[in-house]
């Protein structure tokens, strides 16, 4: 047995199940977040473009829906650390 959790993470079945189940959701969130970033940049360059405003609004709604579905996506710490990391103190 090693001293650190992340040295054994590949061996833990529940960790692997968690990663398989939630990684697609994380990837979708990241993809929408980056598209929103790019759309907001484009909107700043052309502030009166209604199609760009609509795109930003649509992406913000998608992002909000993903955050409602999985609130842990916006946490400051990786969910793995919160679930299986060493206790505080």
Predicted local distance difference test score (pLDDT) of residue 1: 47
Going by C-beta distance under 8 Å and a sequence separation of 6 or more, which residues neighbour residue 80?
9, 15, 18
Tokens of 44: 């700043």
69 within some domain: yes
- Confirm whether pTM is higher than 0.85: no
61 within some domain: yes
pLDDT in tens, the chain (89 residues): 455 555 555 557 776 787 788 889 989 999 999 999 999 999 999 999 999 999 999 999 999 999 999 887 887 777 666 666 666 65
Predicted local distance difference test score (pLDDT) of residue 11: 59
14 within some domain: no
Predicted local distance difference test score (pLDDT) of residue 21: 85
Q: Which domain holds residue 69?
A: 23-73
H or E element at residue 24: helix 13-45
**DSSP string for 27-79:** HHHHHHHHHHHHHHHHHHHSTT-HHHHHHHHHHHHHHHHHHHH-GGGG-SS-H
34 within some domain: yes
51 within some domain: yes
Predicted local distance difference test score (pLDDT) of residue 13: 76
68 within some domain: yes
Give yes or no for a contact between 44 and 38, defined as CB atoms under 8 angstroms apart: no
Give yes or no for a contact between 59 and 52, defined as CB atoms under 8 angstroms apart: no
């Amino acid at each position: 047995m090693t001293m650190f959790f992340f040295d054994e993470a590949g061996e833990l079945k529940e960790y692997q199940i968690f990663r398989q189940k939630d990684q697609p959701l994380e990837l979708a969130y990241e993809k929408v977040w980056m598209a929103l970033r790019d759309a907001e940049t484009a909107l700043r360059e052309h502030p009166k473009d209604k199609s760009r405003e609509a795109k930003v609004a649509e992406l913000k709604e998608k992002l909000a829906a993903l955050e409602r579905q999985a609130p842990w996506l916006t946490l400051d710490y990786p969910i793995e650390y919160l679930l299986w990391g060493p206790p505080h103190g």
